[in-house]
Amino acid sequence: MAATATGPFGFAPAIAVLPLVAFVVTLLFGKHLPKKGAFPGIIATAGSLLISLVMFAAVGGGNAHHTTLYEWTAGAATSATNTEGVAFTFGILIDPLSALMLVIVSLVALLVHVFSLGYMNAEGETGLPRYYAELGLFTFSMLAFVFADNLLMAFMFFELVGLCSYLLIGFWFRTESAPSAAKKAFLVTRFGDYFFLVGVVAIAATFGTVGFAGEGSFVTAAETAIDDGATLFGFDAQTWVTITGLLVLGGVLGKSAQFPFHTWLPDAMEGPTTVSALIHAATMVAAGVYLVARMFGYYALSPTALTIIAFVGGFTALFAATMAVVKDDVKQVLAYSTISQYGYMMLGLGVGGYVAGVFHLMNHAFFKALLFLGAGAVIILMHHEQDMWKMGGLKNKAPVVYYTFLAGALALAGIVPFSGFWSKDEVLFDALAVGLDEPVILAAYAMGLLAVFFTGFYTFRMVFLTFHGEPRSETAEEPHPVGWPVKIPLLALGTLAAVAGFVNLAPVASLFDLEISFLEFWLDGEYGSVEGLTYHAYHDTVAEMAFEESYIGSETTTMLLSAGLSLGLALAGAFTAHTLYNVPEPSRHTQKLGGAYNVLRSNYYQDEYQVWLAEGLTLPLARAADRFDQTVIDGIVNGTSTVSLFSSSWVKRIQTGIVTNYAALLVAGFIGLLLILGALGGWFA
Partner 1 sequence: MTVDVQYYVLLSMAVFCIGLFGVLTRRNALLFLMSVELMLNAANINLIAFAFYHGNLTGQLFALFIMALAAAEVAVGLGIILVLYRNFRDVDVTVPTTMRW
Binding site for partner 1 (CB under 8 A): 652, 655-660, 663-664, 667
- Sign of the CA dihedral with 291 first, then 296, 298, and 299 last: positive
Q: State the CB neighbour count (10 A cutoff) for residue 327.
A: 23
Name which of 69 and 666 has its Cβ closer to partner 1: 666
Q: How many residues does the chain have?
A: 685
Shortest distance in whole angstroms from residue 667 CB to partner 1: 7
Name which of 639 and 672 has its Cβ closer to partner 1: 672
φ, ψ for residue 528, nearest 5 deg: -100, 155
- DSSP code for 150: B
List CB contacts of 306: < 8 A, sequence separation 6 or more.
299, 300, 350, 351, 352, 542, 546, 547
Name which of 636 and 659 has its Cβ closer to partner 1: 659
CA 467 to chain centre: 31
Whole-number Cα distances in Å, 34 to 30, 118, 121, 485 = 8, 14, 11, 15
CB-CB contact of 36 with 129 (8 Å):
yes
What is the distance between the alpha carbons of residues 37 and 60, in angstroms, rounded to a whole number? 35
What is the distance between the alpha carbons of residues 116 and 119, in angstroms, rounded to a whole number? 5
Shortest distance in whole angstroms from residue 660 CB to partner 1: 6
Name which of 592 and 653 has its Cβ closer to partner 1: 653
- In the chain, the amino acid numbered 429 is F
Shortest distance in whole angstroms from residue 202 CB to partner 1: 58
Shortest distance in whole angstroms from residue 652 CB to partner 1: 6
CB-CB contact of 504 with 134 (8 Å):
no
β-pair type (231-232, 65-74)? unpaired
Name which of 643 and 668 has its Cβ closer to partner 1: 668
Shortest distance in whole angstroms from residue 665 CB to partner 1: 11
What is the distance between the alpha carbons of residues 322 and 327, in angstroms, rounded to a whole number? 10
What is the distance between the alpha carbons of residues 75 and 84, in angstroms, rounded to a whole number? 9
Name which of 621 and 668 has its Cβ closer to partner 1: 668
Shortest distance in whole angstroms from residue 640 CB to partner 1: 22
What is the distance between the alpha carbons of residues 242 and 328, in angstroms, rounded to a whole number? 41
Q: How would you label 615-645 residue by residue, b for 16+ Cβ within 10 Å and e otherwise?
A: eeeeeeeeeeeeeeeeeeeeeeeeeeeeeee
Name which of 614 and 674 has its Cβ closer to partner 1: 674
Name which of 631 and 656 has its Cβ closer to partner 1: 656
Shortest distance in whole angstroms from residue 663 CB to partner 1: 5
Q: How would you label 489-500 residue by residue, b for 16+ Cβ within 10 Å and e otherwise?
A: bbbbbbebbbeb
Shortest distance in whole angstroms from residue 656 CB to partner 1: 7
Shortest distance in whole angstroms from residue 675 CB to partner 1: 17
Name which of 77 and 651 has its Cβ closer to partner 1: 651
